Amino acid sequence: MNLSETIRLEGIQRRYRQGEAELDILRGLDFTLHPGEAVALVAPSGTGKSTLLHIAGLLERPDAGEVVIGGRPTSKLSDAERTQIRRTDIGFVYQFHHLLPEFSALENVMLPQLINGLERREAQNRAQDLLGWLGLPDRVQHRPNELSGGEQQRVAIARAVANAPRVLLADEPTGNLDVVTADSVFESLFRLIKATGLSALIATHNLDLASRMDRRITLRDGLAVET
């Protein structure tokens, strides 16, 4: 296993058909995410940020190329094996929280751990710790609709890292929040990444937030370019 990389994308190609037209979104993209670094993905709308995150997170298969996670090539793995890697190694945060409305914040963070076979007590302790760490010690019993937008995203972040993944992939995690709330949620997220040694690839349109991360890339002609 190569310890200097968390995720390596090699020659990733992705083409979408839209009616008669064919759209080459990713055209042989290479990118390496190193352990412990937080990289911003800043690129215009429609250039393929979500596509790239879905491929890196094994939610979608590329037409060509290889996704290597923790030194393990994934293209020849079955869907079940890819799902297993996704459950243990990858955390996702989206623009909208996608929390389960009928469960409390605590239960939402416990659930992925229970699915991974953790004891209830252990899952509860970890969920409690994470939510406390993210500034929500008094909100753990609240349901999502009893929380503010910023609080909901904090719960979504706690859920994403509940199983201690290698990598966090985030698609506009603060895109639905006002400027002040976005800033404070982002600070918490960044602190969490640094405290846990997690690697992160975060798509954002917010240049101020991007400037605080370790590296920035953009997408140009279907390739990843450092900016």
Ligand X SMILES: Nc1ncnc2c1ncn2[C@@H]1O[C@H](COP(=O)(O)OP(=O)(O)OP(=O)(O)O)[C@@H](O)[C@H]1O
Binding site for ligand X (CB under 6 A): 16, 18, 23, 25, 43, 45-51
d(CA 107, CA 111): 6
Instruction: Please state the closest distance from residue 205 (CB atom) to ligand X, in A.
Output: 7
Tokens of 23: 């759209």
d(CA 68, CA 32): 9
Q: Please say which residue, 48 or 150, places its beta carbon nearer to ligand X.
A: 48
The four Cα atoms 190, 195, 196, 201 give a dihedral, to 10 degrees, of 20
Q: Please say which residue, 140 or 219, places its beta carbon nearer to ligand X.
A: 219
Instruction: Please state the closest distance from residue 122 (CB atom) to ligand X, in A.
Output: 36
How far does Cα 91 stand from its chain's mean position?
A: 5
d(CA 171, CA 212): 17
Question: Is beta strand 167-171 parallel, antiparallel or unpaired with respect to 90-93?
Answer: parallel
Q: Please say which residue, 60 or 122, places its beta carbon nearer to ligand X.
A: 60
Instruction: Please state the closest distance from residue 13 (CB atom) to ligand X, in A.
Output: 13
d(CA 175, CA 178): 8
Q: Please say which residue, 26 or 167, places its beta carbon nearer to ligand X.
A: 26
Q: Please say which residue, 51 or 124, places its beta carbon nearer to ligand X.
A: 51
What is the number of other CB atoms lying within 10 angstroms of the CB of residue 24?
Answer: 14
Tokens of 88: 């243990």
In the beta sheet, which residues pair with residue 73? 68
Tokens of 220: 């140009």
User: CA-CA distances (angstroms) from residue 195 to 38, 188, 209?
Assistant: 12, 10, 18
Instruction: Please state the closest distance from residue 115 (CB atom) to ligand X, in A.
Output: 27
Q: Please say which residue, 54 or 154, places its beta carbon nearer to ligand X.
A: 54
Helix (H) or strand (E) holding 2: none
Instruction: Please state the closest distance from residue 97 (CB atom) to ligand X, in A.
Output: 17
Residue type, 41: L
Instruction: Please state the closest distance from residue 74 (CB atom) to ligand X, in A.
Output: 19
Q: Please say which residue, 50 or 153, places its beta carbon nearer to ligand X.
A: 50
Instruction: Please state the closest distance from residue 31 (CB atom) to ligand X, in A.
Output: 15
